[in-house]
Amino acid sequence: MQASTNLISTTDFLLHLADNALIMGHRNSEWCGHGPVLEQDIAISNIALDCIGQARNFYQYAARLMGEGHTEDSLAYLRDERAFRNCLICELPNGDWAQTVLRLYFFSTYQYFLFQQLQHNSDAELAGIAAKSLKEVTYHLRWSSEWVIRLGDGTEESRQRILQALDALWPYTGELYTPVAYESVGEADMASIQTAWLDHVKAVLEEATLSMPDMGWMQQGGKTGIHTEHLGYILAEMQFLQRAYPGAEW
């Protein structure tokens, strides 16, 4: 009984990590072909590609643990909204470039401190995926923090836009470092992740000549499957072919 409970928590946790990466990758991939500068179009597409790669590693591992014919694709394409465990911030619409880079910055900062701990997890496979992902996330964090600084300390318009993004996204940041039960599998000290996240964000916002918002009310629910209205549309689009042609190979 104990063993199967652990297995459920482990797969829950893996699905949470995978869903985070997939939905974040999906949103960032929407920029492909539409970025503000060609070099940045390439950068955001590349980051989306990294996220989808991370999602695949976590899904593949989860599928092996779950057995019963599960695959990375059955997990990504055949679960419905309530079964997805990504944080709400990942599924929010892209908005403008300010909202996109700020969301990525908040998310990458969280991934960065989490994966630093996960790379030492007692589950060697999980630790391995975290270590590999950490290299990518380190770049995402640098790239996105540079953009936050550039926009905050750029023109009056860019400053207004990053302030609006900050207002819109801030209530979704608390969920990142507020753990739910299955996150115990990560063996991570979430309190220290919260402190590290807040310190990092404070420093970057300062450099961007912006001040840290008051903590205020934080939205929760994504980690346990209670999402915003946006996720359903993402899944409807993403899962369309798998749903329309059940069982087909692509």
Partner 1 sequence: MEKTAEEIFQDKIDREIRIEPRDWMPEKYRQTLIRQISQHAHSEIIGMLPEGNWITRAPNLRRKAILLAKVQDEAGHGLYLYSAAETLGISRDEMYEQLHSGRAKYSSIFNYPTLSWADMGAIGWLVDGAAIMNQVPLCRTSYGPYARAMVRVCKEESFHQRQGFEILLTLSKGTQAQRDMAQDALNRWWWPSIMMFGPKDDESPNTVQSMRWKIKRFTNDELRQKFVDICAEQVKILGLTLPDPDLKWNEATGHYDFGVINWDEFWQVVSGNGPCNKQRLDARRKAWNEGAWVREAATAYAAKRAARQAEKRA
Give contact residues for partner 1 (rule: CB under 8 A). 22, 26, 29-30, 32-42, 45-46, 48-49, 52-53, 55-56, 59, 72-73, 76-77, 96-97, 149-151, 153-155, 157-158, 161, 234, 237-238, 240-242, 245, 248-250
* Distance, CA of 162 to CA of 148 (rounded, Å): 7
- Work out how close the CB of 177 gets to partner 1 at its nearest, in angstroms, rounded to a whole number: 27
Smaller CB separation from partner 1, 80 or 157: 157
Smaller CB separation from partner 1, 52 or 168: 52
- Work out how close the CB of 80 gets to partner 1 at its nearest, in angstroms, rounded to a whole number: 17
- Work out how close the CB of 248 gets to partner 1 at its nearest, in angstroms, rounded to a whole number: 5
Left (φ > 0), alpha (ψ -120 to 50) or beta: where does 89 sit? alpha
* Distance, CA of 204 to CA of 147 (rounded, Å): 10
Torsion of the alpha carbons at 149, 32, 14 and 195, rounded to the nearest 10: 10
Tokens 């770049």, located at residue: 139
Encode 226-236: b = buried (16+ Cβ within 10 Å), e = exposed.
ebeeebeebbe
- Work out how close the CB of 208 gets to partner 1 at its nearest, in angstroms, rounded to a whole number: 10
Q: Are 88 and 221 in contact (CB under 8 A)?
A: yes
- Work out how close the CB of 210 gets to partner 1 at its nearest, in angstroms, rounded to a whole number: 13
Smaller CB separation from partner 1, 35 or 179: 35
Task: Give the pair of three-digit tokens for residue 181.
Answer: 């039960």
Encode 63-94: b = buried (16+ Cβ within 10 Å), e = exposed.
beebeeebebeebbeebebeebbbbbbbbbee
- Work out how close the CB of 28 gets to partner 1 at its nearest, in angstroms, rounded to a whole number: 10
Smaller CB separation from partner 1, 117 or 145: 145
Task: Give the pair of three-digit tokens for residue 162.
Answer: 């990053």
Tokens 């609006």, located at residue: 164
Smaller CB separation from partner 1, 45 or 138: 45
Smaller CB separation from partner 1, 29 or 194: 29
Smaller CB separation from partner 1, 108 or 158: 158
- Work out how close the CB of 19 gets to partner 1 at its nearest, in angstroms, rounded to a whole number: 12
Say which residues have a Cβ less than 8 Å from residue 160's Cβ, sequence separation at least 6. Answer: none
